[in-house]
Structure 1
Amino acid sequence: MRSIRKIVKAEYRPIGELITYSPMPTGSIDMIDPFIFLNHHGPQTYKPNNKGLPFGPHPHRGMETVTFILDGDISHKDSGGNESIIGAGGVQWMTAGSGLIHAEVSSEKFKEKGGDLEILQLWVNLPARLKKTEPWYKGIQKNKIPIKEFDGGRAQVVSGEFLGTKGAFQPETGINLAMLFLEKGAKLQLKVPAIHNIFFYVIKGELQVNNQQAMELHLVDFGNDSEELQIEAIEDSTLLFGHAKPFDEPVVARGPFVMNTIEEINQAYKDYQSGKFGSWND
């Protein structure tokens, strides 16, 4: 079985009234190439007439965001002209590429009515050859995302493939992502190419993976010495699972930009300030 280097507990980092846990980066783990950042917002319940999510217009360059809406919704808008409202169970994929401005807020209905909210946003790096690619966005509702059922659970196959089922997205970088829902007692055996890095974040519940306990709000960092993964659900659990071949490139991240050199970061700030990321109209 694949070895486990460490199991990291997410740090509690609230953003105003928004409950937020951050398993990566922390003092214990910087990144799992090409996965570079994860924020877990909620779970929490918003009262009627709330302000919703606080993520107003801001820029990105050189990376991708994958946003999983477990509860609530997100109203997306960007400087490329894309707009959508994606509800519970849906996923948003945005390739920032050469640069754009976007906002991720709650819908007017959610702000008026309130309700439960739980959202994960994962940042995935882009290799140098794609840092300046054309920005791209797509939001997909829950009923359009393929499901792979297995004994004791199911997987929502977001990208790449999982157990032979192709995902809703097929990124050029070959990133594989799935949201796994396991019932208590479920057992799952997976094979992941040893060269691939694994992203394994327990959102809810308790799992045993390769004979080690992984509790909710914990990220498991694996070695690259075997293909074999054995997972058992000690209780009903939800897991964000991914894997990809690492890019093995220098990574320089500053604020909303992820590039290969500090010079490229400085240029990103200059380009944004000079209006090269597009205009924003409320």
Structure 2
Amino acid sequence: MTARTLQHRHPARRDDIGDLQTRRPLPGPGLPHLDPFLFLNHHGPQVYPPHNAGLPFGPHPHRGFETVTFILAGALAHRDSGGHESVIEAGGIQWMTAGSGLVHAELSPAAFKRDGGDLEILQLWVNLPARLKFTPPAYQGVTAEAMPLIEEDEGRVRIRLTSGTHQGVQGAVQTPTPITLMTVEIAPGGRATLPAPAGAMVFCYSVRGTLQIAGHDEAPWQLFEFADDGDHLEVASRDGAVLLYGHAAPFAEPIVAHGPFVMNSAEEIRQAIRDYQAGLFGDVPE
């Protein structure tokens, strides 16, 4: 077994959305994407006061990719034009396959707006290949209780497996393309060996704490880019850390993104805009 080599560090840039603290490591300067991983917003951590306005993500359209939302603290309500609806609290995820197109809203539940509280959310966009750009929209909401939990290093490492397989365990979500995603919590002194199959693109974002890679301390709020020269990653933390980790085979197809649409050509983007304006994506029910 050979550990992959760290090539580049991509610090998240601060880009608040109103009063919502937001950091974005992807896309960033010199890094338009990590095929098939397209975009990551890290909202929070922050504390909302009682009687707050909640999250600002009212109804908006998507086509051509998937959104994966990790609720680390707080709660998130989802509604979409396909009739899917759920409220997921801390430790759970929301996986939406936009496919051919739908409209969704991601808002704070009424109880959170009334009472306030801690909030921290990660939203990752994952591309769909050309053959699946028009797959029917789908949604899967998974609570913390339903998320497979894998403990390693005598309990010092806790892995919540969103998708794919790890250590013989199947993730919570069935995905249209093979992709492994997980959150990894490393207690002080913990060490983890994470899979990085040959040819796969690795996604590794440090959510909090000081991570150690190849014996070097790495600050939080960074996306790490690795060479395809090994079959695993070795990570550790002296003081404790949390990371978002995954891997998937690149599609190696043209990527044309415009706002909430990700397609393979500019004409497909123009068609997505026309279809949305014509009402073909439907509406979010009140």
3-state SS in 2 of match to 1:16: coil
Superposed displacement of residue 105, structure 1: 0.3
Distance 1:281 1:83 in 2: 10
Superposed displacement of residue 187, structure 1: 1.4
Distance 1:82 1:149 in 2: 32
Superposed displacement of residue 161, structure 1: 1.4
CA contact (8 A) 1:8 1:28 kept: no
CA contact (8 A) 2:79 2:284 kept: no
Q: CA RMSD in A?
A: 1.0
Letter in 2 for 1:111: K
Report what 1:246 is aligned to. 250
Question: 250-259 or 158-167, which moves further after superposition?
Answer: 158-167
3-state SS in 2 of match to 1:148: strand
Report what 2:89 is aligned to. 87
Distance 2:235 2:223 in 1: 14
Report what 1:26 is aligned to. 28
Matches within 5 A, 1:168-179: 168-179=172-183
Aligned partner (choices 106, 109, 116) of residue 107 of structure 1 = 109
Matches within 5 A, 1:119-158: 119-151=121-153, 152-158=156-162
Task: Give ranges in structure 1 of 5+ residues lacking alignment.
Answer: none
Distance 2:7 2:106 in 1: 34
Give aligned-pair identity as a percent: 51
Superposed displacement of residue 165, structure 1: 1.4
Aligned partner (choices 176, 181, 187) of residue 183 of structure 1 = 187
TM-score by length of structure 2 reads: 0.96
* 1:165 matches 2:144: no
Instruction: Please give the per-residue CA displacement for 1:33-80, whole angstroms capped at 9, x wherever unaligned.
Output: 100000000000000100000000000000000000011111100001
Superposed displacement of residue 181, structure 1: 0.5
Superposed displacement of residue 280, structure 1: 3.4
Question: 204-213 or 111-120, which moves further after superposition?
Answer: 204-213
* 1:52 matches 2:54: yes
CA contact (8 A) 1:63 1:125 kept: yes
Report what 1:208 is aligned to. 212
Letter in 2 for 1:37: F
Distance 1:279 1:58 in 2: 9
CA contact (8 A) 2:48 2:119 kept: yes
Distance 1:230 1:28 in 2: 26
Distance 1:224 1:246 in 2: 12
Report what 2:273 is aligned to. 269
Task: Give ranges in structure 2 of 5+ residues lacking alignment.
Answer: none
CA contact (8 A) 2:79 2:285 kept: no
Aligned partner (choices 42, 45, 50) of residue 43 of structure 1 = 45
Report what 1:199 is aligned to. 203
Distance 2:216 2:199 in 1: 22
Distance 1:271 1:252 in 2: 17
Report what 1:15 is aligned to. 17
TM-score by length of structure 1 reads: 0.98
* 1:234 matches 2:235: no
Superposed displacement of residue 169, structure 1: 0.7
Report what 2:229 is aligned to. 225
3-state SS in 2 of match to 1:269: helix
Superposed displacement of residue 225, structure 1: 1.5
Letter in 2 for 1:113: D
Question: 205-214 or 8-17, which moves further after superposition?
Answer: 205-214
Superposed displacement of residue 228, structure 1: 3.0
Letter in 2 for 1:236: G
Report what 2:79 is aligned to. 77
Letter in 1 for 2:259: G
Question: 123-132 or 168-177, which moves further after superposition?
Answer: 168-177
Distance 2:6 2:160 in 1: 25
CA contact (8 A) 1:159 1:171 kept: yes
Letter in 1 for 2:52: N
Letter in 2 for 1:278: G
